[in-house]
Amino acid sequence: MAVDHAAAEVDHLAAERAAARFDVEAMKIAWAGSRHAVDVADRMARLVASDPVFRKDNRTMLSRKDLFKDTLRKAAHAWKRIVELRLTEEEASLLRQYVDQPGYVDLHWGMFVPAIKGQGTEEQQKKWLPLAYKFQIIGCYAQTELGHGSNVQGLETTATFDPMTDEFVIHSPTLTSSKWWPGGLGKASTHAVVYARLITEGKDYGIHGFIVQLRSLEDHSPLPGVTLGDIGGKFGSGAYNSMDNGVLRFDHVRIPRDQMLMRLSQVTREGKYVQSDVPKQLLYGTMVYVRQSIVADASKALSRAVCIAVRYSAIRKQFGSQDGGPETQVLNYRTQQSRLFPLLASAYAFRFVGDWLNWLYTDVTQKLEVKDYSTLQEAHACTAGLKAVTTSATADAIEECRKLCGGHGYLNSSGLPELFAVYVPACTYEGDNVVLLLQVARILMKTVSQLTSGKQPVGTMAYMGKVQHLMQSKCAVKTAEDWLNPAFIQEAFEARALRMAVNCAQNIGQASNQEEGFYERSPDLLEAAVAHIQLIIVTKFIEKVHQDIPGHGVKEQLQNLCNVYALYTLHKHLGDFLATGSLTPKQGALANEQLGKLYAQVRPNAVALVDAFNYTDHYLGSVLGRYDGNVYPALYEEAWKDPLNETVVPEGYHEYLRPLLKQQLKLSRL
Amino acid sequence: MAVDHAAAEVDHLAAERAAARFDVEAMKIAWAGSRHAVDVADRMARLVASDPVFRKDNRTMLSRKDLFKDTLRKAAHAWKRIVELRLTEEEASLLRQYVDQPGYVDLHWGMFVPAIKGQGTEEQQKKWLPLAYKFQIIGCYAQTELGHGSNVQGLETTATFDPMTDEFVIHSPTLTSSKWWPGGLGKASTHAVVYARLITEGKDYGIHGFIVQLRSLEDHSPLPGVTLGDIGGKFGSGAYNSMDNGVLRFDHVRIPRDQMLMRLSQVTREGKYVQSDVPKQLLYGTMVYVRQSIVADASKALSRAVCIAVRYSAIRKQFGSQDGGPETQVLNYRTQQSRLFPLLASAYAFRFVGDWLNWLYTDVTQKLEVKDYSTLQEAHACTAGLKAVTTSATADAIEECRKLCGGHGYLNSSGLPELFAVYVPACTYEGDNVVLLLQVARILMKTVSQLTSGKQPVGTMAYMGKVQHLMQSKCAVKTAEDWLNPAFIQEAFEARALRMAVNCAQNIGQASNQEEGFYERSPDLLEAAVAHIQLIIVTKFIEKVHQDIPGHGVKEQLQNLCNVYALYTLHKHLGDFLATGSLTPKQGALANEQLGKLYAQVRPNAVALVDAFNYTDHYLGSVLGRYDGNVYPALYEEAWKDPLNETVVPEGYHEYLRPLLKQQLKLSRL
């Protein structure tokens, strides 16, 4: 087992593990994707867990400065290990994941390098990428501004071409044009890809990217005209405070013309703006890539929270003792199961839809290479929507897992507060979830409007081609067990999604102005977009469990979880299904009944199902989620490490408590 | 206006304020309850805001030790001011509210003193209360243990009577019996009311309260046999980390017999256990009191979050500019309105149901005094349920408000991260919300079972007496405007709640064992309980707007908000209404349509509606929620205060960044 607790003497969860009705090792492979994936993750996880530099159990107690320094130290040490051990790209990326501390490195590899790859000419790539690959420069991605986030076209920073010197002048004309939020910008980066309005020959050509050096490579001081700083503390202790999200202002900073990223458009020596013949659609490929990785991260964050909550729910006992005997494990309560098992199922659902999105990215990339743009819009909609739905659900789920751990989930030592605080920005970055869902809705409306013209929708929208059937189909479920039939589930979700979309389209159609109609109906459109995306998640889970999945009982467990995810989602959004006539109230009640039976089947397998995530205690970072379940002594021990316990009588006693107790303050009339 | 920004030069929200169609000053009175309440709150808020000791804008940057010391300082200073200014109890309590920092004082006044008042004999009260009132002792409430929270009967700490010495021996027999969580216990308290199993003459009489001295009044060191400490860091920075939630172990600590709280039962000199004739029901009165104050706190926390999000949404602009002109205020977007205005309406709804609960407490108390227990069970159910529903909704709403502020809501300077972190424990303490809702459900089931026997339900359950009508009534709504009729809303909510309860009762009735049936159906029972409680909130809001409410336009605004709350709740839980046949899908769609129209009416009044909460900038503690709306310069200024910005080149550069950039690490094969 990939766990750093071989020395544990007693496994308090042994009975739970023995009760599992499937092969956990085989489930690890199903979760990770392959034997190889399990092995390499295992190796990297152990490497990190066994290295004292990567210790993180004291992280929430560090001051901002110490935390940032700790991040610099970990990043340097990780790089040293990557070099020494000659790790592959896959291994290095996993190592960074298990180090589990946001830092400049994430932006350097995740945004700066891809931006140059995607938007730089071959020449530019040849110049800049080797510097970045060897860390001779550290880069970040400076797009958002103090006054401008989602609306990239509203950015105010200017890059004005000066033909006299063959340079661009980068400038922040207003306070709100200050670059604001970019990770790694505040303290670590030497360079940035800066997005600014390109102005040449007196004309504003809109937003373009420029490579700008920010700090001296000799002493790290900001270059003339560059103001740099950190934007201040963020949600939680530990969490994202390890990152130097930054503020940046330019006072007429000059850069050579060839530092404009020129793959898609160029400015000539004379200052002429020229579009290249590289299709703009190529940029979508990068977006699909970034967002599919966010979906993959969602399943990681969610599975960590679920792992903690499931294990602790098997340890924690409350009530149920009539005669002073042992109390009941809280995992046995139906209320606990009905809140927790859908989240366990969601972790698996998001994992598999993430795998599929990864495939989709490859597929889109291959098609782009042969200039086939036919699936691009649909792929864009489905990645945007999946990013929105999985991150929102994950953020809520982490907090729900925290609540499911009762009072102790509120302690930093549970790991859950930090997991929540570090995760929630995923709902906002790389496209605010509401903005993204409206993009999905826009494409849904377009697809609906084209249905009558006979244009066949593709990919995840193909079901909309069955409009005539789905608008009038009746769900045939008659018994609770009928809900175990994936065809019934699939059709119910298809009917709900399509009818909601058509309904929106009809309402918009009645407006005198289509754009105004879209605006007026946007809350409904959000709901229709969510319905469409949930259908995709359900569909991909169903497809997954139709595959051959080796290992005793593994497929059966995944089938259960698939049904839990689908029927839970159905129950939670019952209003949609009933309002669209996709189900009758009776059928909704049968789904709920079946859901209860499914929970009973998940129960004995729950601990083994989270063991299959194969997380080390180091990575989980939770006293409540310990593999061995030895929670209470660990909680007790952890408490004494708080700085407040350095003295029994607290600092401040003599100034602020003793005078009170000793009546050295006048009595009030209270 | 009660704002600490008289010096502000420009009001960036002036246009918003001018657009309001009602008298804000009159709304302040409606919100606060009376002219007097506005005035006294105003005075106390200014007093706190103008005193540098009560500064809290740097709180999230303090180390745990400094934060705790700051709390001791503020508590001592607050007490000094209370004494010097001879404040009334009402004023003192408001002053503590505006200091807005959890600390031992909360438990001293909120739990220790009431426990002695409620459970101590007259003699005990005479001895201990004056000491507490003058702060000659500091007390807390030590109930929960490391292994035991919700289930008080499972506590393990023992209090064994020793007739030889006329003492109780207080002991922690196991690790899990360690007292764990009590606020004020870790560092500040000198005394505690400790709950322990009373054992006398070899028999265990269950849980009783004992006054136990923990620390020396001379030097604050723990007494012999007492182990004391803080349980460690909690969610967020700042937030609840100002509180010394504590751990406490007893090693055979002896206390005089007369320190058992003996109002309800006594142990005689000989060790006989005697029940007094004081009815146990009196204890419910205290529970109703504590929970009604939690409901009042919910509306405070929620209204603060909403105030920040509404003001900032009126300042923040995104998209909507076609020609480089100004962008659209995000408050104008339907999606923003549909997420934010229901929370604004909820703040008002919770405020008014809280006022009503306060009345209920008085009513119950008066009835108890004349031994009338007829409404006690119903009052208990409705306070428990309202505590659960309002705290869960508020916790979710604060986080939603944070998301509605986009990226900047993630900054500590927005105030929202700390507001969330400090609020969420309300979902767990004083009764975990799920446990409380199951208690409500149990009383609902009991009430349903008695309907046939002709027993008339009382108070908030009286509607269940109309079972014959409500089980078969049909909603008469035909147009969207019909939903403005409170009678239609009321009946729809009554039908939904009653039918869900009856449905549960029928399903439980089919089980061979009623207790098992209750357990199996507990997820459904939670939903039925929520439906019942939401009906109460809607009903009390409707009753409120039926009263005379002075001030131009005030009543109209509250009517709007009442309708928003009701129709939003209806839309969110549409599945319940449709599944129970309380509405048709068409009627559900009409409700949603009307909701959109209501949002348009709220829009011009939104800023004024949050101004009516009358919060100072100090109390709000949010750069985004500033009264004058001058957000961006303030955000920019705030950033530079972060300790990380003390140097431009970060600590750690020479150790961890320079060697990397200078290629003093071997190159990898990446």
Express each pLDDT in B132-141 by its tens digit.
999 999 999 9
Above pLDDT 70, what percent of chain B? 97
What CA–CA distance (Å, rounded) separates A347 from A590? 25
Distance from the Cα of B237 to chain A's closest Cα (Å) equals: 5
- Say whether pLDDT at A2 is over 60: no
- Say whether pLDDT at A670 is over 60: no
Between positions 228 and 257 of B, the ones with CB within 8 A of A are 228-237, 240-241, 244, 247
Between positions 201 and 230 of A, the ones with CB within 8 A of B are 217, 219-222, 228-230
- Say whether pLDDT at A8 is over 70: no
| Cβ A314 vs Cβ A331: under 8 Å | yes
- Say whether pLDDT at B6 is over 80: no
- Say whether pLDDT at B322 is over 70: no
Tens digits of residue pLDDT in B363-407: 998 998 898 988 888 899 999 999 999 999 999 999 999 999 999
Which of A151, A199, A231 is the mutation pick for testing B, counting most B CBs within 10 A? A231
Distance from the Cα of A670 to chain B's closest Cα (Å) equals: 6
Nearest to A154 among B68, B237, B327 (CB): B327
A665 — contact with chain B (CB < 8 Å)?
A: yes
**Structure tokens belonging to residue A131:** 């510097």
Angle at A475 between CA A473 and CA A478, to 5 degrees: 150
Above pLDDT 90, what percent of chain B? 89
**What pLDDT, on a 0 to 100 scale, did the predictor assign at position A284?**
76
What CA–CA distance (Å, rounded) separates A372 from A459? 14
Cβ of B138 and A657 within 8 Å?
yes
Cβ of B63 and A65 within 8 Å?
no
- Positive or negative, the CA dihedral A656, A660, A662, A667 is positive
Distance from the Cα of A318 to chain B's closest Cα (Å) equals: 6
Cβ of B667 and A83 within 8 Å?
yes
Nearest to B574 among A190, A411, A575 (CB): A575
Which of A235, A333, A334, A526 is the mutation pick for testing B, counting most B CBs within 10 A? A235
A664 — contact with chain B (CB < 8 Å)?
A: no
pLDDT band with cut points at 50, 70 and 90 for residue A280: confident
Kindly name the residue from B145, B156, B430, B491 that is annotated as catalytic: B430
Cβ of B133 and A663 within 8 Å?
no
**What pLDDT, on a 0 to 100 scale, did the predictor assign at position B281?**
77
With both helix axes pointing from N to C terminus, report the angle between A334-369 and A585-602 in degrees, rounded to the nearest 10.
100
What CA–CA distance (Å, rounded) separates A150 from A144? 8
- Say whether pLDDT at A539 is over 70: yes
Cβ of B519 and A579 within 8 Å?
no
Q: Which H or E element spans position B128?
A: helix B122-133
| Cβ B603 vs Cβ B333: under 8 Å | no
B638 — contact with chain A (CB < 8 Å)?
A: yes
Q: Which residues of B touch A187 (CB under 8 A)?
A: 644, 649-650
Tens digits of residue pLDDT in A289-330: 889 999 999 999 999 999 999 999 999 998 876 555 678 999
From the number of C-beta atoms within 10 Å of its C-beta (0-12, 13-18, 19+), residue A365 rates as middle
Cβ of B234 and A666 within 8 Å?
no
What CA–CA distance (Å, rounded) separates A338 from A77? 43
Average pLDDT, chain B: 95
- Cβ neighbours of residue A290 under 8 Å, at least 6 residues apart? A110, A114, A430
B354 — contact with chain A (CB < 8 Å)?
A: no
**Structure tokens belonging to residue A173:** 């004309």
Return the active site residues of A. 430
A487 — contact with chain B (CB < 8 Å)?
A: no
**What pLDDT, on a 0 to 100 scale, did the predictor assign at position A378?**
87
Which residues does residue B158 pair with via DSSP β-bridges, in sequence order? B171, B197
Which of B337, B668, B669 is the mutation pick for testing A, counting most A CBs within 10 A? B668
**What pLDDT, on a 0 to 100 scale, did the predictor assign at position B463?**
97
Angle at A575 between CA A574 and CA A580, to 5 degrees: 105
- Say whether pLDDT at B323 is over 80: no
Q: Which residues of B touch A578 (CB under 8 A)?
A: 574-575, 578-579, 585
B73 — contact with chain A (CB < 8 Å)?
A: yes
What CA–CA distance (Å, rounded) separates B36 from B42? 10
From the CB of residue B269, how many other CB atoms can be counted at a distance below 10 Å? 9
Nearest to B175 among A75, A144, A636 (CB): A636
- Say whether pLDDT at A664 is over 80: no
- For residue B665, how many C-alpha atoms fall within 13 Å in the half-sphere facing its CB? 25
Helix (H, G, I), strand (E, B) or coil at A191: strand
Nearest to B228 among A133, A407, A648 (CB): A648
**What pLDDT, on a 0 to 100 scale, did the predictor assign at position B665?**
56
B152 — contact with chain A (CB < 8 Å)?
A: no
What CA–CA distance (Å, rounded) separates A128 from B324? 34
Q: Report which DSSP code applies to B653.
A: I
Q: Per-residue pLDDT averaged across A531-542, rounded? A: 98
Cβ of A76 and B656 within 8 Å?
yes
Tens digits of residue pLDDT in A563-621: 999 999 999 999 999 999 999 999 999 999 999 999 999 999 999 999 999 999 999 99
Distance from the Cα of A94 to chain B's closest Cα (Å) equals: 14
Nearest to A632 among B137, B146, B519 (CB): B146
Q: Per-residue pLDDT averaged across A209-218, rounded? A: 97
pLDDT band with cut points at 50, 70 and 90 for residue A155: very high
**What pLDDT, on a 0 to 100 scale, did the predictor assign at position B321?**
63
**Structure tokens belonging to residue A137:** 């420069």
Bridge-based pairing of strands A328-329 and B179-180 is unpaired
- Positive or negative, the CA dihedral B467, B471, B474, B475 is positive
pLDDT band with cut points at 50, 70 and 90 for residue B308: very high
Cβ of A148 and B638 within 8 Å?
no
With both helix axes pointing from N to C terminus, report the angle between B433-451 and B486-509 in degrees, rounded to the nearest 10.
90
Q: Which residues of A touch B600 (CB under 8 A)?
A: none
| Cβ B358 vs Cβ B291: under 8 Å | no
| Cβ B136 vs Cβ B301: under 8 Å | no
Nearest to B428 among A144, A319, A406 (CB): A406
How far is C-alpha B170 from the geometric centre of its chain's CA atoms?
Answer: 33
Chain B residue at shortest CA distance from A242? B644
What CA–CA distance (Å, rounded) separates B527 from A592? 12
Tens digits of residue pLDDT in A251-270: 999 999 999 999 999 999 99
Above pLDDT 90, what percent of chain A? 89
Q: Tell me, yes or no, if the pTM score tops 0.95.
A: yes
Q: Per-residue pLDDT averaged across B276-280, rounded? A: 82
SS (H, E, C) B393-407: HHHHHHHHHHHHCHH
Tens digits of residue pLDDT in A47-56: 999 999 999 9
Q: Could you tell me which of A437, A440, A474, A467 has the C-alpha nearest to residue A452?
A: A467
B427 — contact with chain A (CB < 8 Å)?
A: yes
Cβ of A68 and B650 within 8 Å?
yes
Cβ of A410 and B424 within 8 Å?
yes
What CA–CA distance (Å, rounded) separates A215 from B649? 10
Tens digits of residue pLDDT in B556-588: 999 999 999 999 999 999 999 999 999 999 999
| Cβ A28 vs Cβ A22: under 8 Å | no
Tens digits of residue pLDDT in B620-639: 999 999 999 999 999 999 99
**What pLDDT, on a 0 to 100 scale, did the predictor assign at position A249?**
98
Tens digits of residue pLDDT in A412-456: 999 999 999 999 999 999 899 999 999 999 999 999 999 988 889
Helix (H, G, I), strand (E, B) or coil at B11: coil
Phi-psi region of A548 (alpha: psi -120 to 50; beta: other; left: phi over 0): beta
Q: Give residue for tokens 């009809």.
A: A506
Average pLDDT, chain A: 95
B527 — contact with chain A (CB < 8 Å)?
A: no
What CA–CA distance (Å, rounded) separates A316 from A629? 10
Tens digits of residue pLDDT in B494-552: 999 999 999 999 999 999 999 999 999 999 999 999 999 999 999 999 999 999 999 99
Distance from the Cα of A357 to chain B's closest Cα (Å) equals: 26
B271 in a labelled binding site: no
Q: Per-residue pLDDT averaged across B160-168, rounded? A: 98
Report the Cα–Cα distance between both ends of chain B, in Å, rounded: 63
Cβ of A230 and B75 within 8 Å?
no
A183 in a labelled binding site: yes
Nearest to B220 among A72, A524, A653 (CB): A653
What CA–CA distance (Å, rounded) separates B576 from A575? 7
pLDDT band with cut points at 50, 70 and 90 for residue A150: confident
Q: Give residue for tokens 């400094």.
A: B66
**What pLDDT, on a 0 to 100 scale, did the predictor assign at position B3?**
44
ipTM of the complex: 0.96
**Structure tokens belonging to residue B90:** 């009402």
Tens digits of residue pLDDT in A609-648: 999 999 999 999 999 999 999 999 999 999 999 999 999 9
Helix (H, G, I), strand (E, B) or coil at A667: coil
What CA–CA distance (Å, rounded) separates A537 from B144? 42
Instruction: Say how many CB pairs under 8 Å bridge A and B.
Output: 409
B666 — contact with chain A (CB < 8 Å)?
A: yes
What CA–CA distance (Å, rounded) separates A498 from A519? 20
Cβ of B663 and A134 within 8 Å?
yes
Nearest to B644 among A187, A428, A638 (CB): A187
